[in-house]
Structure 1
Amino acid sequence: MTTTSEVRARRGGRLMLNKVPEVTIWFWVIKILCTTVGESFADWIDMKLGVGLVNTAWIFTAVFAVVLGVQLRLKRYVPFPYWLTVVVVSVTGTLYTDILTDQLGVPLWISSAVFSVLLVVVFGVWWLRERTLSIHAVTTLPRESFYWLTVLVTFALGTATGDWTLELTGWSPGVSVLLPLGLIASTALLRRFGANPVLSFWLAYVLTRPLGANIGDWLASPKVAQSPGDPTGLALGTFTTSLIFLGLILATVLYLTATRSDVTETHEATHTPRTTADPRRERMALAGFVLLAAATGGLLFWAHSRPHVGPAPETDATSTVHLAPGQAVKKFPPAKVDALRTLASTSLRDARSGDAAGAHASAQSLRDLWDADQASLQPLDDTGWTFLDAQMDQVLKTFGIDHPNPPMSPARQEAELGTLLTDLR
């Protein structure tokens, strides 16, 4: 899925080599590995460490700016900084989509449409300025800037379309792997037939995002669903999955660094160039892509119409269990209860003083900490945890966190926080 073009260019008196690796099998292997570890590692930081979705996005945006700055200063392709940038941008693009969905309540079909239009706009501006979209012509700073902006948008788009597919079909992550895998294989076959190399490359690039994410979810998800519609898998956990794939990425990068087999100049010196493009075959392959898109749409429509269990609908989480004040936390570690009580007290204080933003931020941190502690607290006392979880949900609802309603009145927020603090004492 490549096209031969210029690999050197002078810009401001500086000789630059192509900044993107040759698209060999190693490119696609490590791209999928980066996508998987990006998904798993982001979930681990967000949920297990209790950092929170928005804070995680800020952290990775800053990291992305740093690693991208290093990458842009290089004069040639170097495996380690290049693939580190891909890992970080995969996390960052995923988080942006998750914020739209989980924090702002934007439907996935809208996110998919918006990112699709944005990708077309980026390609259009890139083409109008540079007259090429080939990754073998990434030899100037403007072209490399367009390239990384495109990569960022493809990760956000891949996240949105992948999650939307799961929402439509109710497929498990293991089954969901088959759709992007089949589409990538079909794209590769059409490319061998004579499809446009740039179109084929970027289609496959977008599709590797849902493929890698589904692999990560399949490996990390529990073997038994905690709630109807929740994903199931091999129960390796997000941390173990991240470690495994980070190790595989490091091994692959070390191999590529030693062999230089994915450097454009090395590859072109040892491989026969592709034959000239055949316009007739390109048109026929384009028709094949259209048929493939229609078939995919038909499959998704059919799967959506079949009976399946999706995520549990939003319901009133009022608990049917009634416990005396302090009873629910008797079996929980005092340090964890104190941390929860501190955040709830801070939110209540801010609500009473009229600091709506501070109260919301503390309530969101309370949610993140509660979610992060679920794995350790629930086994200690399932009844107590369920009781507190219901009251916690009532608090979050008053702030419009994880619920579609707008924030409620400060008086309602204070009342629910007061009830929660009574249960936590």
Structure 2
Amino acid sequence: MSETTRSTDMTTRVTLSKVPEITVWFWVIKILCTTVGESFADWINMTIGLGLHTTALIFTVALAVVLVWQLRLDRYVPLVYWLAVVVLSVAGTLYTDILTDDLGVPLAVSTTIFAAALTVVFGVWYAREGTLSIHSIVTVPRELFYWLAVLVTFALGTAVGDWTLEITGWGPGISVLLPAGLIVLIVIGWRLGANAVLSFWLAYILTRPLGANLGDWVASSSTNRGLGLGTALTSTVFLTAIVATVIYLTATHSDVVEEREPTRPSGTPHPGRERIMLGYYGAVAVAAGVLLIWASTQPHETSATEEETGTASITTTLTPGQVSAHFPAADVTDFRTITQDTLTKVHAGDHTGAVARIKDLETAWDDDEASLRPLDETAWVVLDGRIDSALKAVRANTPDSATETQTLTALLNELQ
């Protein structure tokens, strides 16, 4: 997908464009970057245990450093450009998570806030520069507008994706289909004559929930109908793919803008057709809204899963020593240590630390499911329910220390 460029100075300065050509490689690596943004942010924040605020601060500093490097260049350099996109992806995810998980802002509200912010960015950008085409990124002000828009699209895409999951209850695999389908419809619209700049930015926003949902599906355990690779391995796989793609692009220069190209097969803008296709995009948006409303009224998959495992496990009690008798001692010790650490942080009033530490339990439990569950199905189901209860208590928007203590103590008692 390429764009209509209104900038008159682009003709003479196009070889200095600071962004890549919009080829299939652009979209492939963009989706890879958004996937890393989701999985890597979770891994650094929760698995390593740095906490949401510390992780956000680290990536804000990293973002500033990378953007300064990018701004000092006089042309598009794949390594620097895509490094900036990866860091922006992680930072945008973290900023949305802070609003949702730390400040308790509803996803509907954060989606509205980021949508309004993006509208303002685009409005000021167009009023000042007369174009929103990324092929016109040949001055520092335009590049600043561009990177600000990219950051907000990541945050907006995160909020939209999470909100969709919240109201529909779709699993990681199914949730990939909606943004993927919408992107296909946008490509069709662009091919039929829709405004190229609008089409580009709509698709750009949707790659965020597509990549995030893809990352969740790959990382999630088989219980949640995922591939079970975990956040660390998922991040490694997709980062490796990004590096390989960047090396290829650096060697071939296949995404370097050398000359202006037609914006669509005919190469000629057609205002009348653009207006018709604007109505088409409106119809697609309405259809997507109707689908989400319908999905929100259906029984959620997650609820069924909780009912199947969580409720049964809470009403079932294991015999003393059942877990230790059937599960490897090293695994049981690891689970107990993490649970006790979390309980200690709860008693100390360190809510952020407790949230970060219990993520280690969730990750370890999901990673060991394939080996533990066959050893004792009943014990696994009971512990799975206990862990779910503890996770909900510790991650509550308004956590109650008594509830946290109760659920964590119950889990410790079962881990005998």
TM-score bracket relative to the smaller structure: 0.7 to 0.9
Which residue of structure 1 aligns with residue 296 of structure 2?
A: 304
Which residue of structure 2 aligns with residue 209 of structure 1?
A: 208
Q: CA-to-partner distance for each residue in 1:287-320, whole Å, 9 max, x for gaps? A: 1111111111122222223333235789999886
Given the superposition, is the C-alpha separation of residues 417 and 291 from structure 1 closer, same or farther in structure 2, using an over 3 Å criterion?
closer
For residues 176-255 of structure 1, the aligned pairs below 5 Å read 176-223=175-222, 225=223, 230=224, 232-255=225-248
User: Alignment partner for residue 7 of structure 1, among 3, 7, 10?
Assistant: 10
Given the superposition, is the C-alpha separation of residues 177 and 424 from structure 1 closer, same or farther in structure 2, using an over 3 Å criterion?
closer
Is it true that 1:169 corresponds to 2:162 in the alignment? Answer: no
Given the superposition, is the C-alpha separation of residues 100 and 332 from structure 1 closer, same or farther in structure 2, using an over 3 Å criterion?
farther
Distance apart, 1:53 and its partner CA: 3.4
| CA distance in structure 1 between the aligned counterparts of 2:45 and 2:387, rounded to whole angstroms | 22
Amino acid across the alignment from 1:209 = R
Of the structure 1 ranges 182-191 and 334-343, higher mean CA displacement relative to structure 2 is found in 334-343
Given the superposition, is the C-alpha separation of residues 238 and 394 from structure 1 closer, same or farther in structure 2, using an over 3 Å criterion?
closer
User: Alignment partner for residue 251 of structure 2, among 258, 277, 284?
Assistant: 258
Q: CA-to-partner distance for each residue in 1:242-284, whole Å, 9 max, x for gaps? A: 23322222222122112222112x253xx55763422111111
| CA distance in structure 2 between the aligned counterparts of 1:392 and 1:237, rounded to whole angstroms | 17
Higher relative contact order (CA 8 A, sep 6+): 2
Given the superposition, is the C-alpha separation of residues 183 and 391 from structure 1 closer, same or farther in structure 2, using an over 3 Å criterion?
closer
Which consecutive unaligned segments of at least 5 residues does structure 2 have?
none
Which residue of structure 2 aligns with residue 292 of structure 1?
A: 284
Instruction: Give the conservation status (yes or no) of the 8 Å contact 1:50–1:372.
Output: no
User: Alignment partner for residue 354 of structure 2, among 339, 363, 382?
Assistant: 363
Distance apart, 1:169 and its partner CA: 2.4
Instruction: Give the conservation status (yes or no) of the 8 Å contact 2:52–2:94.
Output: yes
Given the superposition, is the C-alpha separation of residues 385 and 51 from structure 1 closer, same or farther in structure 2, using an over 3 Å criterion?
farther
Instruction: Give the conservation status (yes or no) of the 8 Å contact 1:328–1:424.
Output: yes
Count of equivalent residues: 398
| CA distance in structure 1 between the aligned counterparts of 2:299 and 2:387, rounded to whole angstroms | 33
Q: Secondary structure at the match of 1:51?
A: coil
Q: Secondary structure at the match of 1:89?
A: helix
Instruction: Give the conservation status (yes or no) of the 8 Å contact 2:39–2:235.
Output: yes
| CA distance in structure 1 between the aligned counterparts of 2:52 and 2:79, rounded to whole angstroms | 27
Which residue of structure 2 aligns with residue 353 of structure 1?
A: none
Distance apart, 1:74 and its partner CA: 1.0
| CA distance in structure 1 between the aligned counterparts of 2:196 and 2:254, rounded to whole angstroms | 20
**Normalized against structure 1, the TM-score is what?**
0.78
Q: Secondary structure at the match of 2:302?
A: coil
Which residue of structure 2 aligns with residue 374 of structure 1?
A: 365
Is it true that 1:281 corresponds to 2:273 in the alignment? Answer: yes
| CA distance in structure 1 between the aligned counterparts of 2:380 and 2:239, rounded to whole angstroms | 38
**Normalized against structure 2, the TM-score is what?**
0.80
Distance apart, 1:367 and its partner CA: 3.0
Which consecutive unaligned segments of at least 5 residues does structure 1 have?
351-355
Q: Secondary structure at the match of 1:166?
A: helix
Given the superposition, is the C-alpha separation of residues 233 and 365 from structure 1 closer, same or farther in structure 2, using an over 3 Å criterion?
closer
Instruction: Give the conservation status (yes or no) of the 8 Å contact 1:319–1:390.
Output: no
- Percentage of identical aligned residues: 51
Of the structure 1 ranges 333-342 and 31-40, higher mean CA displacement relative to structure 2 is found in 333-342
| CA distance in structure 2 between the aligned counterparts of 1:198 and 1:384, rounded to whole angstroms | 52
Query: Counting helix residues as a fraction of each chain, which structure ranks higher?
Result: 2
Which residue of structure 2 aligns with residue 74 of structure 1?
A: 73
Amino acid across the alignment from 1:186 = L
| CA distance in structure 1 between the aligned counterparts of 2:340 and 2:218, rounded to whole angstroms | 34
Amino acid across the alignment from 1:405 = T
Distance apart, 1:77 and its partner CA: 0.7
For residues 55-74 of structure 1, the aligned pairs below 5 Å read 55-74=54-73
Which residue of structure 2 aligns with residue 28 of structure 1?
A: 27
For residues 338-417 of structure 1, the aligned pairs below 5 Å read 341=340, 344-345=343-344, 348=347, 350=348, 359-375=350-366, 379=372, 390=386, 397=393, 401-405=394-398
Given the superposition, is the C-alpha separation of residues 267 and 177 from structure 1 closer, same or farther in structure 2, using an over 3 Å criterion?
farther
Instruction: Give the conservation status (yes or no) of the 8 Å contact 1:41–1:239.
Output: yes
Q: CA-to-partner distance for each residue in 1:384-408, whole Å, 9 max, x for gaps? A: 99679959967985xxx41243656
Amino acid across the alignment from 2:134 = I
Q: CA-to-partner distance for each residue in 1:210-241, whole Å, 9 max, x for gaps? A: 11122222222222x2xxxx4x1222333333
Amino acid across the alignment from 1:367 = I
Instruction: Give the conservation status (yes or no) of the 8 Å contact 2:230–2:363.
Output: no
Amino acid across the alignment from 1:181 = A
Instruction: Give the conservation status (yes or no) of the 8 Å contact 2:20–2:76.
Output: yes
Q: Secondary structure at the match of 1:50?
A: coil
Of the structure 1 ranges 314-323 and 241-250, higher mean CA displacement relative to structure 2 is found in 314-323
Given the superposition, is the C-alpha separation of residues 421 and 169 from structure 1 closer, same or farther in structure 2, using an over 3 Å criterion?
closer
Given the superposition, is the C-alpha separation of residues 377 and 340 from structure 1 closer, same or farther in structure 2, using an over 3 Å criterion?
farther
| CA distance in structure 2 between the aligned counterparts of 1:365 and 1:163, rounded to whole angstroms | 20
Is it true that 1:133 corresponds to 2:125 in the alignment? Answer: no
| CA distance in structure 1 between the aligned counterparts of 2:51 and 2:142, rounded to whole angstroms | 34
